[in-house]
Amino acid sequence: MMLLTDKLTVNDTQVCNFASHHSLVVGQKIYVDGGVYTSRDDVLIDLDYRDLQIYDLADLSDSIVGHQKVTIPKRTTVKRPDHIPNTKMGFLWTDRDQRLLLRYGGTWIDPEEVKRNMNDQAAKTALVGFDFGAADLHSSEAWTLQQKTTAPIISRLSHGAGARYVREGQGYYLGGFEDNIGNDHRSSKSELDSISANLIIWDSPLEWNNKTVRQSAVSDASYNPGAGGFLTHLPIGDVGMLLSVGGRQFEGPEAVRFPMDKIRLYDIKNDEWYTQTAEGEIPDGRNNFCGVTAVARDSSSYNIYISGGQTGDDSGADDVYILSVPSFTWFKAYSGKEIPRIYHTCELVQDQQMAVIGGYNATTLPRSMCAQEMGGDLRFFDLNTLKWADYNPKGIKYQVPQPVYNVIGGGGNGGARNKTPAAGWTDPLLETAFTRATLGAMATQSGAPPSEPESTLAPLDSIATQSGAPPSQPESTDLIHLPKTGLHGGPLRAVSLAASPH
């Protein structure tokens, strides 16, 4: 499958992999934006890629990957106009009406684009919108830039961990580096001294906020979000809860991976952070991985699937793990040695499969294993059978896999009986949050319902995930009201974590 368009100066046969991109599912389409590419001579190529890639899950064809015939979605592209910067390691979500693709943050890629946009304040604060319902998707009018020109500016971050709550059109971004390209107040080129401790939340009203909230008194006071971690929205409690796991924390010049048995949770309504201990088959510490969240039909368990990432000596992992909540139990779902991935993205499709998009192999240096040898640039992991498979639009909707329900109780449709962590709850308030009514029987989607036609919209309770993240000091303890945005959607508020960097 061709990865690039004729717009690029690199011949398609030279292209090895793409990575560090942003992705999103909207109905029957997977949108892939930005990122970097590797060539077959093992050189990282930061390309000024002007096109938005779209994989159509309703239009399938056969292709040869390696020596096997596989079924893959058709790929098309939409040209991005010159005034919209190309980025890597940012985040995509949609507005509440499911009509606008939104992109926050990311590091600028092309040097010429940096020069072109350096004096453009809107480009530098970088909230980008793409209108799914535009009469001409290839028109520059389909794209908009957030016009944010007055202080205080919410900086453009990259490498943070993102999550989505599709029903309310909310996006969340935890941590991230603040680079010195286009952020005027940053003069240092070091990423280590420009790490954010903020949780940025995009809400539905048209207003920007920057807010600092307190941590739970029993939370780990040393916690700061780490680079390359994972964040997801769970339909628990009044307005949901965020769950963060993995990533890197910086101790001086050294990067230390967070232990995967330490799960961080944020009660959105009550502005409380908690740390819960997980047990079971705990994965090695990792960063730059991705995952999706699937919910049992009766909402008795929330099962978070993670794929790959950098572990140990920065080698890539070829595995899939499941964290089942509220028992907070880890399960190893798959382990291989042939197709490790890092800097990839994951999206939930058809409430039954995890689409693994892009990424590259870091096990061997130079990175000579290309997409064709890695199973293709778009692979699918069946959440029910726990096997890699072709895309299956008619498969069985999500069922809790047997290795999981053997431990937590119940069956494929739910009925989990084990709803208490083996190590006990670290905070009675967290236990109470998990006993509150859920936000509805939610199919968790890494993306959003389709934009057309209306009658085919997926449940608006869908939610989503993506990955990446790092740390820093709280910036403010005041609530700051900023000017209204020019995009559909809502306010952005930054919530600093009341914790000391460690």
Query: What confidence tens digit (pLDDT) does each residue in 224-273 have?
Result: 777 899 999 999 877 899 999 999 876 666 678 889 999 999 988 888 88
Smallest Cα–Cα separation from 303: which of 405, 427, 423?
405
pLDDT at 256: 84
124 CB contacts (<8 Å, ≥6 apart)? 117, 118, 156, 182, 183, 184
- 288 CB burial (10 A radius; 0-12, 13-18, 19+): buried
Q: Give kind and range of the element (H or E) at residue 403.
A: helix 402-408
pLDDT, average across residues 416-427: 94
Q: Dihedral, CA atoms, 85, 167, 388, 302, nearest 10 degrees?
A: 130
pLDDT grade, residue 280 (50/70/90)? very high
- Are 277 and 261 in contact by the 8 Å Cβ rule? The answer is yes
pLDDT grade, residue 469 (50/70/90)? very low
Smallest Cα–Cα separation from 272: which of 198, 209, 213?
213
pLDDT, average across residues 1-10: 33
Q: Give kind and range of the element (H or E) at residue 230.
A: strand 230-234
- Are 478 and 193 in contact by the 8 Å Cβ rule? The answer is no
pLDDT at 481: 25
pLDDT at 499: 36
Q: Is 246 left (phi over 0), alpha (psi -120 to 50) or beta?
A: left
Residues 342 and 471: their CA atoms lie apart, in Å, by 21
pLDDT at 373: 64
Residues 468 and 496: their CA atoms lie apart, in Å, by 17
What tokens does 172 get? 């969340």
Please list the residues that pair with 287 across neighbouring strands.
310
| Residue the block writes with tokens 């539905």 | 204
pLDDT, average across residues 291-312: 95
pLDDT, average across residues 465-478: 33
Smallest Cα–Cα separation from 78: which of 150, 169, 19, 143?
143
Smallest Cα–Cα separation from 89: which of 467, 492, 496?
467
- 417 CB burial (10 A radius; 0-12, 13-18, 19+): exposed
The pLDDT tens digits of the residues spanning 103-156 come to 888 887 776 666 666 666 556 665 788 888 787 888 888 888 765 555 556 677
pTM greater than 0.85 (yes/no):
no
pLDDT at 91: 92
Beta strands in 44-157 (DSSP E): 44-45, 51-65, 68-79, 87-88, 91-94, 100-104, 107-108, 127-131, 143-145
Check pLDDT > 50 for residue 487.
Answer: no
Check pLDDT > 80 for residue 388.
Answer: yes
pLDDT grade, residue 466 (50/70/90)? very low
Q: SS in 3 state form for 110-140?
A: CHHHHHHHCCCHHHHHCEEEEECCCCCCCCH
pLDDT at 15: 62
Question: How are strands ordered across the β-sheet holding 143-145?
Answer: 91-94, 100-104, 127-131, 143-145
pLDDT, average across residues 390-404: 93
